[in-house]
Each structure stands twice: as C-alpha cells, then as structure tokens.
Homo-oligomer: A and B are copies of this chain.
Amino acid sequence: MPTVPFQDRWRDHPVFGFVDWILRGIGQVVFQNNPRSGAIILAGIFYNSWIYGTICLFATIVSTLTAILFKADKGMIKDGLFGFNGALIGIAFVAYTSPNFTTGNVPNAYLIFYIMLCAVFTTIILPAFGALLGPHRVPGLTMPFVLATWFFLGALLQFTTIDVSNALKPTSPADFSGPRPDYTWITWFHGITMGIAEIFFQDNWVTGIVILTGIAVNTRIGALMALMGSTLAVGVAVLYGAHDEAIRDGLFGYNAALTAMALGGMFLVFNLPAFLYAFIGALVTARVWASLGIFLEPAGMPVLTSAFVFVTWLMLLAKDGFSSLIPVAPADATTPEDNLRRFGKSS
C-alpha cells in the first residue's frame, strides 16, 4: 500500500482539498507543487501588503473555480496548475492601477470585476499552450498570465472608470535615468532578494527571503537556482553598468531567477550540462529582460515574466538537439531532487 507523501495529505480531502489546491496554485508560480510552499509565500505577500495577499488569494480562487466549471483535468486542478496565472493576474492589476505600487490600493468594483474576467481568461487559454507545446514536452509557464495582462492592461487606457495614470511606471528599464555606476553592497543585497520578491511584484526584500524559504522547504536545489539566477542578473547589470535603482528594485533578477529554476533541475535533470545551461539561460534572460523593455516601451507595456518565458521556451524546445541534456516531461517534473533520483540514471 503506497503511503501518501506528507505534503499530499490534504490533496484529495473533500473539504480541505480546495484550500490545498489554492495554496499549490500560489506555489506553482515558482514551480512548487506543495501547499506548504504556497502558504509560506502567501504569508510573505501578506507581510508586505494585506491588499496584495487578499487579491492574490481571490484571483487564484477565481481561476481555479473556472477550471472546475469547464471540467478541466482534475489532476491538473489539484496540482494548482490552473491557479498560478490567476495569482499573478490579481497582484499585477492592482499593482499597475495603484498610486502606491509598494503596497497597492484597494481596488474598486470595476477593477475587481475586470480582474475576475482576466483570471477566468487565463484558465481558458491555459490548455492552448498544452496543445501547442505539450508534444514537445515543454510547459506553458506563465504565458497565460503575460498574454492576459498585455491583452487587458492596454484596454484600461481606453476606459475612464479605472485610473491607470500611475501605471506601468517602475517596470520598464528605460524609466530609470539616475546615476549608474554607484553600486554598494545594498545594490547587491536588495537586487538579489528583491529579484525573488518581484516575481510576485513585491517591493520588499523580507518578502523575497520568505519566498525563497517557501521554495526551500520543497527543494533545496530549486532555491539555490533561484538565488543563482537573481545573483547572476545583478552581476550582469553591475558589470555592464545598469541603473543602480533598477537593479535595487529587483527588476533584472526576477526573470533570471525563474529561468534558472526551470532549466536547473526542474525540466532538465540536474547534471553539469544542465547547470551550465541554466547558468547561460540566467545570463541571457537578464539581457532579454532589458531588451524586451525597449520593444514594449513605445506601447507603455510592462515586460512581466515574458523574458523568462521566451528564453526558457526556446532553450527547452532545443533540448533534444543536445544529447548531454536529460529532459523531464512537464507532467513528470516534481522537484530537482526527485527528478534526479528518478531520471538521473539514464545519463
């Protein structure tokens, strides 16, 4: 009789199951299919702002309920895979419409309804990426979130009932014009920790450390990769002379941290070539983040996690071209440690 792993105790519970799925949904933003990771991360967000915490929870619930309504795959729902895009949508739309980006402002009824429809939409388009990328064993990542945000955010500029006059301000690299090569240890410390926190749009280094802890309770390798990605991004930015403030805000790091986690053990078995692959991926992502900002700047749109998505997609699509890499299909991927134990031998 197989024993249920500790973290899966509540997954199939008739009442508490739903809570479990929602927490996993929050954890899945950083690839953690574990309700404890989700709970810790949510606590970290609430520590920074109860507004962000509440809207994150709300939108995750909306997108998960939509999947239940349209009878999506039960296993995917239980793994939180219909929740993580919603989680980000909720925070993003409050962040981009709040005069106070750091903690967010309480959304009005129009905006709440807007976020609802957008969260519904992320669920509805999620299987599209499974259909397109599934045959290549490449996951959709946070593309539903990115696309839905781009699709809905611009529309706000056409409407009068939601104010976006403060929107999109702190996320484009071109917005910074302060002095550049004036780096201190704060540049590095804030850059690295806020790089983790910015995955969830949180301008708070404590939250960054809490999120990293949430990852670490489920996977040590994953947490190290996130740290490596964020650190490399700060390194690139410092070496090439980026704006000090842009670095300290964690803007270079959050995409690179996600790329490093995806390539370093999650969807590729964690061997030396995969480590090198993740290392290069993080270096590249830091630049791609900056470059996409230039492309999106004329439209005033934020980069979001698109740099991570594009680089990781391309590098995962390419994986079969390099025989030194051992791919892990998205449906089989759990944690780097577990992937290594199960698939590492074929190396």
Residues of chain A touching chain B, judged by Cβ–Cβ distance below 8 Å, are 70-73, 110, 114, 117, 120-121, 124-132, 136, 147, 150-155, 157-162, 173-174, 180-181, 239-243, 246, 273, 277, 280, 283-284, 287-295, 297-301, 310-311, 313-325
The answer to whether residues A154 and B293 also contact, given A162-B240, A321-B127 and a CB cut-off of 8 A, is: yes
Contact residues in B for A291 (Cβ distance below 8 Å): 150-155
Report B-chain residues with C-beta under 8 Å of the C-beta of A160.
Answer: 180-181, 240-242
Contact of A241 among B161, B180, B310, B320 (CB under 8 A): B161
Main DSSP-derived SS at the A contact region = helix
Judging by beta carbons under 8 Å apart, are B130 and A321 in contact?
A: yes
The CB with the most chain B CB atoms within 10 A, among A158, A162, A283, A323, is that of A158
Chain B residues within an 8 Å CB radius of A129: 317
CB distance from A289 to the nearest CB of B (A): 8
A288, closest chain B residue (CB):
B151
User: Among the interface residues A117, A181, A280, A287, which one has the most CB atoms of the partner chain B within 10 A?
Assistant: A287
B159 touches A323 (CB 8 A): no
A321 partner residues in chain B, CB cutoff 8 A: 72-73, 126-128, 130-131
A241 to B239, CA, bound (A): 47
Q: Quick check: A125 and B241 within 8 Å, CB to CB?
A: no
CB-based nearest B residue for A292 = B154
Residue in chain B with minimal CB distance to A240: B159
Q: Which chain B positions have C-beta within 8 A of A153?
A: 291
**A283 and B295 alpha carbons, distance in the complex (Å):** 28
